[in-house]
């Protein structure tokens, strides 16, 4: 019985860092993306509200949806310029 307990304790000790890392990665990937706006020198938290605003921007620009972080820097900068002139209250 003592050997089983020792093996169980050793297994838990070896697996704990992996479980913590996986939980940390999952938390980081949820809504934790931040983008730096070079023009306005500020950071923007990417969340559901920002995603809705981005989709509204694309619709106004008559562009197809493309994941924001896959856009070229110029397109990202253009979005942030637009975003600074449109508040969350401007939604239609």
Cβ atoms of residues 86 and 49 within 8 Å = no
Is pLDDT at 27 greater than 60 in this prediction? no
pLDDT above 90 (res 83): yes
Q: What is the pTM of this model?
A: 0.62
Q: What's the chain's average pLDDT?
A: 84
Q: Are residues 83 and 43 in the same domain?
A: yes
One domain, residues 24 and 65: no
H/E/C letters for each residue in 25-92? HHHHHCCCCEEEECCCCEEEECCHHHHHHHHHHHHHCCCCCCCHHHCCHHHHHHHHHHHHCCCHHHCC
The reply to whether 20 and 40 lie within a common domain is no
User: What is the extent of the structural domain holding 81?
Assistant: 34-90
Give the mean model confidence (pLDDT) for residues 81-85.
95
Same domain, residue pair 70 and 54: yes
Residue 26 shares a structural domain with residue 39: no
Residue 78 sits in the same domain as residue 52: yes
pLDDT of 63 = 96
- CB-based contacts of 7, cutoff 8 Å, min separation 6: none
48 and 81 share one domain: yes
* pLDDT tens, residue by residue, 43-82: 999 999 999 999 999 999 999 999 999 999 999 999 999 9
Name the domain count of the chain.
2
């Amino acid at each position: 019985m003592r050997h089983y307990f020792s093996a169980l304790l050793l297994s838990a000790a070896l697996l704990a860092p992996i479980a913590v890392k996986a939980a940390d990665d999952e938390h980081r990937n949820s809504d934790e993306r931040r983008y730096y706006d070079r023009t306005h020198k500020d950071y923007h938290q990417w969340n559901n509200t920002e995603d809705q605003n981005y989709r509204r921007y694309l619709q106004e620009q008559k562009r197809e949806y493309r994941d924001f972080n896959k856009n070229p820097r110029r397109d990202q900068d253009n979005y942030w310029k637009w975003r600074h002139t449109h508040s969350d209250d401007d939604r239609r």
